[in-house]
């Protein structure tokens, strides 16, 4: 592989030049900075917490030296697992938002806007409040099933005789989300109070109890879904110019759009099933990636994933350590950051329209 550097881009070529990859220099630089920031956040996360462990002891523990069983638990089981889970969940939610925005050609699309998060939440609250005797290990599966069912319902309801409509998809998503949220609220209000309390932390989007099992689950799904998304990124690029233009370019529009929606829903469903609903990550990250470094679709997806990972890792670190032992759920912090950004995006898009 050889690398040729042009003023604004890097071109990577395979030995016989069968494959070439053109990378915008700015995007590469931004990606490096994002990964550096993510690495630093993870490092600070591993070294910070309510349990006082000296930095040297943290490093020794990470090298596999057991100083004490308690330190092993704190560093490996609590800090490392939740830090990695936060990064993975952030990347998945961000990618889900990017795929949804591309598929619906609506910059405001987000997993919570089309009912995925609400479906997962309803399933988990139902399991916790109505069927408390069922083991909590079923919670991720219930969340996944809830998310998928709602996504299918939205897609089914959005279909017309002429086929799928992105506007109908968004509107149906909003309507169904509101309907599902009201059922969830009713269950939380009128259900047995202890059971409702048990569901509260999950509903707030807390990474508090993430374990290595969760990390492996997230990694396994990432390993399947991220390549799937990258594989269709070329056609996704064509879709940016509109359906007609993409068809004109010979892209299998219908197939790719359905694939995008399926991957987007799966990404959000898996992430939500592990940590609960995390608002605004899927909305903000793709826009931030676009603003920081305009790039081709594949690079845009990678940047989006890095921003999502950084955002949720930071939110988890701040929520865990800033006011310890008070624990602020990451979902609350991403919403706190997300709402002003959401408003800014709306105002900006309005200004652009005018």
CA angle 109–218–41, rounded 5-degree value: 85
Q: Least distance to another protein from the beta carbon of 41, Å?
A: 17
Q: Which of 325, 350, 351, 352 binds another protein (CB under 8 A)?
A: 325
Is the distance from CB of 224 to CB of 349 less than 8 angstroms?
no
Q: Least distance to another protein from the beta carbon of 325, Å?
A: 4
**C-beta of 189 vs 352, nearer to another protein:** 189
For residues 209 and 82, what is the distance between their CA atoms, to the nearest angstrom? 7
Q: Which of 4, 55, 70, 223 binds another protein (CB under 8 A)?
A: 70
Nearest to 276 by CA among 213, 214, 194: 214
**Structural tokens at position 255:** 């197939």
Identify which range of 94-102, 207-215, 279-287, 306-314 contacts another protein by CB under 8 A.
Answer: 207-215
Identify which range of 57-65, 130-138, 173-181, 241-249 contacts another protein by CB under 8 A.
Answer: 130-138
Number of residues that bind another protein (CB under 8 A): 37
Q: Least distance to another protein from the beta carbon of 299, Å?
A: 36
**C-beta of 79 vs 300, nearer to another protein:** 79
Q: Which of 38, 80, 139, 229 binds another protein (CB under 8 A)?
A: 139
Q: Least distance to another protein from the beta carbon of 139, Å?
A: 8
**Structural tokens at position 74:** 């704190």
Is the distance from CB of 125 to CB of 134 less than 8 angstroms?
no
Q: Least distance to another protein from the beta carbon of 56, Å?
A: 18
Within 243-302, which residues bind another protein (CB under 8 A)? none
Identify which range of 117-125, 226-234, 301-309, 323-331 contacts another protein by CB under 8 A.
Answer: 323-331
**Structural tokens at position 22:** 């053109």
Q: Which of 9, 165, 181, 211 binds another protein (CB under 8 A)?
A: 211
Given strand 2-5, what is the order of strands in its sheet?
A: 2-5, 9-13, 20-24
Q: Which of 7, 15, 52, 64 binds another protein (CB under 8 A)?
A: 52
Q: Which of 190, 220, 291, 340 binds another protein (CB under 8 A)?
A: 190
Q: Least distance to another protein from the beta carbon of 276, Å?
A: 10
Per rule CB under 8 A, is residue 111 in the interface with another protein?
A: no
Per rule CB under 8 A, is residue 160 in the interface with another protein?
A: no
For residues 112 and 203, what is the distance between their CA atoms, to the nearest angstrom? 13
**C-beta of 128 vs 155, nearer to another protein:** 128
Tokens 């790719």 locate to 256
Q: Which of 1, 244, 326, 351 binds another protein (CB under 8 A)?
A: 326
Q: How many CB atoms lie within 10 A of CB 89?
A: 32
Q: Least distance to another protein from the beta carbon of 186, Å?
A: 10
Per rule CB under 8 A, is residue 208 in the interface with another protein?
A: yes
What residue ranges bind another protein (CB under 8 A)?
Answer: 49-52, 70, 73-74, 77-79, 132, 135-136, 139, 189-190, 192-195, 197-198, 200-202, 204, 206, 208-209, 211, 320, 324-329
């Amino acid at each position: 592989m050889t690398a040729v550097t042009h003023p604004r881009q890097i071109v990577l070529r395979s030995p016989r030049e069968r494959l070439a990859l053109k990378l915008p220099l700015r995007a590469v630089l931004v990606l490096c900075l994002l990964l550096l920031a993510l690495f630093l956040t993870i490092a600070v996360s591993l070294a910070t917490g309510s349990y006082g462990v000296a930095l040297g002891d943290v490093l020794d523990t990470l090298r596999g030296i057991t100083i004490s069983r308690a330190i092993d638990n704190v560093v490996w089981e609590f800090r490392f697992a939740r830090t990695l889970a936060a990064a993975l969940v952030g990347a998945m939610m961000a990618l889900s938002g990017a795929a949804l925005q591309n598929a619906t050609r609506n910059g405001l699309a987000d997993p919570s806007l089309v009912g995925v998060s609400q479906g997962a939440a309803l399933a988990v609250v139902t399991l916790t409040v109505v069927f408390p005797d069922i083991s909590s290990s079923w919670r991720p599966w219930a969340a996944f099933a809830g998310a998928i069912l709602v996504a299918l319902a939205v897609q089914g309801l959005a279909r017309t005789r002429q086929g799928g409509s992105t506007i109908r998809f968004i509107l149906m998503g909003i309507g169904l989300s509101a309907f599902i949220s009201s059922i969830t609220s009713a269950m939380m209000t009128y259900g047995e109070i202890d059971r409702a309390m048990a569901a509260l932390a999950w509903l707030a989007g807390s990474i508090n109890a993430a374990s290595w099992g969760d990390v492996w689950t997230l990694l396994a799904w990432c390993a399947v879904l991220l390549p799937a998304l990258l594989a269709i990124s070329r056609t996704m690029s064509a879709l940016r110019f509109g359906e007609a233009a993409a068809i004109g370019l010979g892209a299998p529009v219908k197939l790719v759009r359905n694939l995008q929606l399926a991957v987007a829903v799966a990404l959000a469903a898996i992430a939500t099933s592990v940590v609960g609903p995390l608002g605004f990550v899927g909305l903000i990250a793709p826009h931030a990636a676009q603003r920081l470094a305009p790039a081709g679709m594949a690079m845009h997806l990678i940047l989006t994933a890095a921003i999502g990972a950084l955002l949720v890792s930071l939110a988890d670190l701040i929520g865990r350590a800033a006011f310890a032992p008070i624990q602020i759920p990451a979902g609350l912090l991403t919403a706190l950051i997300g709402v002003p950004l959401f408003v800014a995006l709306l105002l900006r898009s309005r200004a652009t329209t005018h």
